[in-house]
Structures are given as structure tokens and as C-alpha cells.
Structure 1
Amino acid sequence: MTEIPKSGLKSFVARLAKEHNVQIETSNHSSLARIITRLSGDNVTPDETERLIIALRKAKVIDDKLMVEILGNYLNELNGNRSEGNI
């Protein structure tokens, strides 16, 4: 795999998923997890890119280490854009 970029992660993840025919699937377990999270008072809603990153891991396209790196870079990019008022 190529080096994980520090920016443009949304496009990178979408392209990687497309290359490997990976799509977001909602399972009963993920639906239950969202309900439990909501009931516990946490407001955690992964966006499409975050869900694709998880789907890439479940499909074994990436390993745990790459998943954390991609997700970290993606969240850093999002937070950087939010602090600059771009999102």
C-alpha cells in the first residue's frame, strides 16, 4: 500500500474502498451498538468516511495499525478544517 496521506483522506478512503469493492454494510451488531451508545448519552455518529475505514478493516484490506493511522489522519484533517472554519 502507498503512504497514508495527511490530507485528502475522504477521497483516499473512497478510492481505496472502490478499488477493493468495499461498501458500508449495516449489520444488526452495528445498529445495536449505535442504540446503546445513544442510550448511554454519548453522541457518536461516524460519518461515511469513518464507516468506510471500518469496512476496509472488516474486509481485511487494511490492518488495525493502518486503520488507526488513516482514521487519525482523517480526524486530524477534519478538526483542522473545523478550527479554520472550513467545515
Structure 2
Amino acid sequence: MNSPDTAGSAPVCSAKSCRTDAVWVLAWNNPKLHTPERRKTWLACDEHREHLSAFLGARGFLKDVVELSEWERNSAADG
């Protein structure tokens, strides 16, 4: 899946075959593989946000859904 810090191009949705600009960051973690504080990310356009959230949520992986612009602001402040 795409990372929110994709260098050199506009971030696109992580849904299969979707090339739409991403608007959302879905932060998730698989507790069987990752430490509790670790966050993996998928990106979503408005159309696929609910579908991708439901997929991760059904597995108990979804931790947060944040607008991409807010995620980038927070990442810049942390960095």
C-alpha cells in the first residue's frame, strides 16, 4: 500500500486499481505482528475511505482515520 510520505508525487488511494488523489490516512496495526505503538498506513480517497476502514476494522486493525493534510501537519511537527 502507499505511504503518506510518497516523495515526488501526489499520494494516491491504496484501494486496488484506484489512482485518485488520497484525502485520508487510515492508521492501523496488526497486534500479532506489530508493537502496540506502531502504525502502518493506507491512503484513501473519499470514495474508498469507508470500504478500506471496514476491511481493517473487521480485523480489529484500524486505529485511526485522519485527513491527509492533518497527518502531514502532525508529521512535520514531530519531525
Where on the TM-score scale, by shorter chain, does this alignment land: which range? under 0.3
**Greater share of strand:** 2
- TM-score when scaled to structure 2? 0.28
Of structures 1 and 2, the larger Rg is shown by 1
**Greater share of helix:** 1
- TM-score when scaled to structure 1? 0.26
Structure possessing the higher relative contact order (Cα contacts under 8 Å, 6 or more residues apart): 1
